[in-house]
Amino acid sequence: MSADAAVESARRLVAAAEHVVGFTGAGISTESGIPDFRSPGGVWAENRIVDYQEFVSSEAGRIEYWRQKAAAWPAMRDAQPNAGHAAFLELHRQGRLDALITQNIDGLHQRSGLPAERVFELHGTTTEAGCLTCGDRITSDEACRRIEAGEQAPRCRECGGLLKPATISFGQAMPWDVMEQAQTAAEACDLMLAVGSSLVVEPAASIPRVARFAGARLIIVNRDPTPLDRMADAVVRGEIGAVLPELVRRDG
């Protein structure tokens, strides 16, 4: 199938859908200047991974984790939503977006205008840090100011516990309540639109599969092949910012 034919077939599926659930990965934010994990120059090429076990057990691990966080934060904070995020907002405005499930931690879907209660963040958010003991939260701006002021691995000012960016690290338990809500939305939709995810990070990547098995149509928009391509009704390989606005267009 030609690229144009794939876009047209996906566009028809979107036009026919009434209950769309979006599923997004790092690829939707690369056009906002936030690198993904697996493309060349992505996050993994630049940093050593500090997993959850290392974070909770080693001060050196926490210092390294916060060093990476503080270095990445200004670009994350200043990033602006792009045409891909706007396309999901358009679906919401059309009254057809039941939920937006994201692996992303950048908060750009909410910044684009989607109501926070429609966005399920499976891997948490980088916009805040939380205390692992009492749950108190502070903004990442505040945490990074404290690092600049000399605290290498800041601690909770309420209880002295470990402060950690409110993202889910490797080895850390998933937020199962959010996962459950996402799964329920996936089971109820008539179209799952999976965008910018390599669909290999589990258990998040099983969400589009849940939707497909529950009878929804599945569209995958991604530059590279994914393991779920063979079960999709349409696979569009292209740049998200160019493709997604086409898919949600109502005319023609």
Q: Which of 235, 185, 186 is nearest to 210 (CA)?
A: 186
Nearest to ligand NAD of 25, 154 (CB atom): 25
The site map against ligand NAD for 41-70 (x = CB under 6 A) is -xx---------------------------
Contacts of residue 58, Cβ cutoff 8 Å, sequence gap at least 6: none
Considering only the stretches 28-36, 56-64, 92-100, 139-147, report the one whose residues sit in contact with ligand NAD under the rule CB under 6 A: 28-36
Question: Is 92 among the residues known to form the active site?
Answer: no
Nearest to ligand NAD of 43, 162 (CB atom): 43
- Asked if 106 touches ligand NAD (CB under 6 A), the answer is yes
Considering only the stretches 37-45, 157-165, 178-186, 211-219, report the one whose residues sit in contact with ligand NAD under the rule CB under 6 A: 37-45
Nearest to ligand NAD of 140, 197 (CB atom): 197
Least spacing, CB of residue 76 vs ligand NAD, in Å:
8
Considering only the stretches 46-54, 104-112, 145-153, 170-178, report the one whose residues sit in contact with ligand NAD under the rule CB under 6 A: 104-112
- Chosen residue from 39, 47, 58, 133 binding ligand NAD by CB under 6 A: 39
Question: Exposed (0-12), middle (13-18) or buried (19+): which is 37, by Cβ within 10 Å?
Answer: middle
Q: Which of 237, 183, 238 is nearest to 211 (CA)?
A: 183
Least spacing, CB of residue 109 vs ligand NAD, in Å:
10
- Indicate the angle between helix axes 206-213 and 176-188, nearest 10 degrees: 30
162: tokens are 């470990």
| Kind and range of the H or E run holding 52 | helix 52-57
100: tokens are 């937006």
CA 47 to chain centre: 19
Q: d(Cα 43, Cα 103) in Å, to the nearest integer?
A: 15
Q: Which of 110, 100, 104 is nearest to 80 (CA)?
A: 110
- Asked if 125 touches ligand NAD (CB under 6 A), the answer is no
- Asked if 82 touches ligand NAD (CB under 6 A), the answer is no
Q: Which residues bind ligand NAD (CB under 6 A)?
A: 25-27, 29-31, 34, 36-39, 42-43, 103-106, 123, 196-198, 201, 204, 222-224, 239-240
